[in-house]
A and B are shown apart, each in its own frame.
Chain A
Amino acid sequence: MQIFGYPLDVDPILLTLEVAAITTVVLLMIGTPIAWFLSQMRSRARIFLEALVALPLVLPPTVLGFYLIIAMNPDGTIASLLRDIGIHQQLTFSKTGLVIGSVVYSLPFTVQPIMAAFEALPMPIVDAARTMRAAFFDRFFTVIVPLARQGFLVGSVLTFAHTVGEFGVVLMVGGNIEGQTRTVSIAIFDHVESFEYADAHMLSIIMVIFSMLVLMFVYALNRKLQIKQA
């Protein structure tokens, strides 16, 4: 593919978008219940669990990557767990491994905004739904999710964007295999290493524009989704 006369390798871009999309969907499914339970907890264990969820925010990606490699190596915990349920797949240096790593790495970006939205729920409205006989899953999907929609929006966009931009964990877990684990950020690193500044430029400027658009989209939608309180 050519843009403005420059050749552009789209494989890393497609791979990056794919991994980010899968990660976002997986994290919405895992992160929503975690956010809910944390927001409802009144016990002291909550401090510990909240810190645990936030850990990927502060840990160097190399630390995270290191433990992930250990957990995902063919004799590691995750791989043997998967083997027990009949999935024989190499995790390190594969797309699946990349997704698993991204899920761990981006977990706080999903959980924290959704949890904040759950905590800010106008409880009388949820209580009113209960008195109208809406059982848990009923009121969760008909009342709680619509009321917490800003949290879900911010959570999924941040997760997606953050996964697109990750580097350290991807490099350690996925390596740099063309078409399989070479994401945009790795490709840029690669180009710079080989002094292919024009190619690095192209991908970098695409990342800048993409990030800017994502953030503007979030801010615009955020304003539109505001719930009128009265």
Chain B
Amino acid sequence: MFKGNLQLELGNFTLDSGKFAFDSTGVTVLFGRSGSGKSTLLRALSGLDKDTRGTLQFGNEVWQNGRKALPVERRDIGFVFQTAALLPGKTVQSNLDYAIKRVPKGRAHGPSPQEIIDRVGIGYLLDRSVDNLSGGERQRVAIARALLTRPRLLMMDEPLSALDWRAKTELLTLIESVIADYQIPTLYITHTPVEVERLASRVVFMADGRITSVESLTEATTRIDSPLFTEEGPVSVLHGVMGAIDDDGLIAFESTKADVFTFWLNRAEHANTPTPKTPKTQARLRVLARDVAIARQRYSDISMLNQIPATIDRIEADPETHRQAVFLTLDDGQTLIAELSRRSVATLDLAAGQSVFGLVKTAALMDQ
């Protein structure tokens, strides 16, 4: 649990968070445009800036009270910076050793260093100098190093922003699974909605140096004016279980409850990706509302494999366009959003409470 009210002035920028209190379990994403104060808030929360003022409590520990602050060295934070911030001129191994050597005896438990190194996939890099690594490799080393400090809390400041798209995809998957496996509470900064939707348990929205709201991911993705929605329009994030690739190159994504829904994903083009998901893993499915159509009945003579039974919860109009967002409740309580034209809503005579089917092409779910 984080509780407090922090102020920090950096040059021309003033952070004045306002009172806040939010759970620290899972992944808390700090989200906002550039210049909204995400990084400054993270610096204030970490204690890295000596000019931080205000109050901060982590669980029962007081981390900041006015000018008095618990030194960063004693907060047990693993920090991953935008640039990997490795010690230049040294090998990967000696960079990791820097962290390992300074872990107090009381915290040296959990997975062995070797296990962490294997998990992050940098075993083959140990003897290389960090000066000769690619961006993705550097960031992997930084993640391993942060884990090796045996943190109670991970902080990541836009760890993917300096990487190319392939490294981004690989590292996002890595971060997602590492956080889930090691169960370390994480604060994560990004301005990319996809990262929020893949990782977040809750979202701290920021604007003009203030925290504007703290919402669960579900809350944040089920209101039409969510800051998470970009020019792609509204997005639904479904939680479920991902299966293995079948002979047709399709993957089943099912609700954790039996017989509620099955989305078929087309993964054919990704069949050769280096790290295929092991069968039956917890996963999230990101569905753009504009890729979802609505039918009043199930069709058999149509190519759409994904016809998901649902109930209309409500219909909201976007005040700025003619489009309407239809919020569908699936049988396990999750929300699927469909973006329709006003004419479609009128023609089908859609209204809250109706039983309908949400239609999504498999190809639309390919790029997950």
Contact = CB atoms under 8 A, between A and B. Distances in A.
Given A127-B79, A128-B79, A133-B149, A228 B89 contact: yes
A177 interface: no
A212 interface: no
Contacts of A228: 88-89, 131
A128 B46 CA distance: 11
Interface residues of B, number: 32
A124 interface: yes
B89 to A, nearest CB: 7
- Secondary structure at the A interface, as helix, strand, loop or mixed, is helix
Given A124-B82, A125-B88, A128-B142, 7 more contacts: A124-B81, A124-B83, A131-B72, A131-B146, A134-B73, A146-B89, A230-B135
Contacts, number: 72
A129 interface: yes
Interface string A119-149: 0001011011111111100100011001100
A76 B158 CA distance: 59
User: 10 closest Cβ contacts across the A-B interface?
Assistant: A124-B85, A131-B79, A133-B102, A128-B85, A124-B81, A228-B131, A130-B72, A132-B99, A133-B73, A125-B85
Interface in A95-141: 122, 124-125, 127-135, 138
B304 interface: no
Nearest to B89: A227
Contacts of B82: 124
B149 A131 contact: yes
Given A125-B87, A227-B88, A130 B73 contact: yes
Given A134-B73, A230-B83, A230-B138, A129 B98 contact: yes
A2 interface: no
Contacts of A142: 98
B101 to A, nearest CB: 9
Contact of B81 (A128, A147, A230): A128
Contact of A130 (B48, B89, B104, B142): B48
Interface string B101-144: 01110000000000000000000000000010001001000100
A194 interface: no
Interface string B84-98: 111111000000001
Nearest to B149: A132
Contact of B71 (A122, A124, A125, A135): A135
20 contacts: A122-B85, A125-B86, A127-B48, A127-B81, A128-B79, A128-B81, A128-B85, A128-B86, A130-B72, A130-B73, A131-B72, A132-B99, A132-B102, A133-B73, A133-B104, A133-B149, A227-B89, A228-B88, A228-B89, A230-B131
